[in-house]
């Protein structure tokens, strides 16, 4: 997998060397390094050219500002993944890009479409596709750019027989990978929970991250994670107003966890799910 790194710079002779060397010293080898220089008048370009044999592409010409320079770099990039390193920044060690490459989850790729506006037909078309496509609208205020997510794309759970009932889960498995490994009964339970939460109201939307599915109104109200023999729901509720129960409902306000919410519910079977519905309803109604 090729990773493209773009650095844009103008008149930054004091720090450009550190930025360049932090990229060139990465242990990950398939890096395309692109530097866009805005016609520097100090020694910046001279320093860049010291490394020209190791830099994939160097452009030095006037531009219309930092975003214009970034767009030039993006147009030249050919990697599957693109990153931007500012000329006054540097990677903290030589394993940064390798760690990023190891963490990328290709099981549920996402397409992000960014424009200054979308219409209702764009939203409808994306929803009909049932693919992980995000529409992001932007508005520029002088040097500030605001982004607004217009939709919450669905990851469609397919209720198919898993290949093995005993596949072990890894702590780094994505939600989709976990779903493929768990038992059919847990898959069915997962679908039932999802359908119930989405039936609470038209204002409930669904968003998939690598490790969990979030159900939200304005903010997340329920997050769902899969484990080998149970499902964890984290609910946006005040633990002080919830009756806790050992090995079923617990306060996680001071416990690190995926997703948002301070109340955790562990669901192993249909009976647990029925008992949890009251709390799910409260998470919906109280937020």
- For residue 233 the two structure tokens come to 């729901």
Reference 204, options 221, 217, 223; nearest CA is 217
- For residues 4 and 79, the answer to whether their CB atoms sit within 8 Å is yes
Indicate whether 145 belongs to any domain.
yes
pLDDT at residue 165, rounded to an integer: 43
Q: Are residues 70 and 129 in the same domain?
A: no
Residue 59 shares a structural domain with residue 77: yes
- pTM, rounded to two decimals: 0.46
Same domain, 61 and 93: yes
Q: Is 130 part of any domain?
A: yes
* 66 and 137 part of one domain: no
CATH number of the CATH domain containing 249: 3.90.1150
Is residue 195 located within the same domain as residue 260? yes
Is 170 domain-assigned?
A: no
Same domain, 136 and 36: no
pLDDT at position 218 is: 78
In a domain, 190, yes or no: yes
Regarding whether 191 and 134 lie in a shared domain, the answer is: no
pLDDT at 161: 39
How far is the C-alpha of 263 from the C-alpha of 223, rounded, in Å? 10
The reply to whether 181 falls in a domain is yes
pLDDT in tens, the chain (287 residues): 899 999 999 999 999 999 999 999 999 999 999 999 999 999 999 999 999 999 999 999 999 888 899 999 999 999 989 999 999 999 999 999 999 888 876 666 777 888 888 877 777 777 666 667 788 888 888 777 888 777 655 544 444 433 344 456 666 678 888 888 888 899 899 989 998 998 998 888 888 888 889 998 878 899 999 998 999 999 999 999 999 999 999 999 888 777 888 999 999 999 999 999 999 999 999 98
In degrees and rounded to multiples of 5, residue 245 shows phi and psi of -145, 125
For 19, phi then psi, to 5°, come to -65, -50
pLDDT in the model for residue 107: 64
Q: Is residue 90 part of a domain?
A: yes
Of 46, 74, 103, which one is at a domain's C-terminal end? 103
Domain count, the chain: 3
Residues 197 and 258 in one domain: yes
Inter-axis angle of helices 184-198 and 270-285, nearest 10: 20
Same domain, 181 and 140: no
The reported pLDDT for the residue numbered 18 is: 96
In a domain, 166, yes or no: no
Q: Which CATH number does the domain housing residue 47 bear?
A: 3.90.550.10
- Beta-strand relationship, 3-9 and 81-84: parallel
Chosen domain end from 66, 86, 103: 103
Domain residues for 29?
A: 3-103
Neighbour count for residue 208 (Cβ, 10 Å): 20
């Amino acid at each position: 997998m090729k990773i493209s790194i773009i650095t844009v710079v103008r008149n930054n002779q004091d720090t450009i060397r550190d930025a360049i060397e932090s990229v060139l010293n990465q242990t990950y080898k398939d890096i395309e390094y692109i530097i866009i220089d805005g016609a520097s008048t100090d020694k910046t370009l001279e320093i860049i050219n010291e490394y020209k044999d190791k830099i994939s592409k160097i452009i030095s010409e006037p531009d219309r500002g930092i975003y214009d320079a970034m767009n030039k770099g993006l147009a030249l990039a050919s990697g599957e993944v693109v990153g931007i390193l500012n000329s006054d920044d540097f990677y903290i060690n030589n394993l940064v890009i390798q760690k990023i490459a190891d963490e990328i989850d290709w099981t549920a790729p996402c397409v992000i479409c960014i424009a200054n506006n979308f219409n209702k037909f764009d939203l409808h078309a994306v929803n009909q596709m049932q693919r992980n496509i995000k529409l992001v609208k932007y508005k520029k205020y002088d040097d500030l750019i605001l982004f607004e997510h217009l939709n919450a794309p669905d990851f469609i759970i397919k209720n198919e027989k898993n290949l093995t009932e005993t596949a072990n889960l890894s702590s780094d498995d994505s939600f989709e990978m976990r779903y493929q490994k768990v038992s059919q009964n847990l898959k069915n339970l997962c679908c039932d929970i999802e359908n119930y939460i989405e039936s609470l109201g038209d204002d409930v939307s669904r968003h998939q991250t690598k490790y969990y599915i979030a159900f939200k109104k304005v903010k997340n109200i329920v997050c769902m994670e899969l484990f080998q023999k149970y499902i964890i729901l984290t609910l946006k509720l005040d633990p002080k107003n919830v009756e806790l129960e050992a090995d079923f409902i617990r306060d996680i306000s001071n416990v690190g966890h995926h997703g948002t919410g301070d109340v955790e519910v562990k669901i192993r079977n249909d009976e647990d799910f029925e008992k949890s519905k009251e709390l799910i309803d409260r998470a919906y109604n109280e937020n």
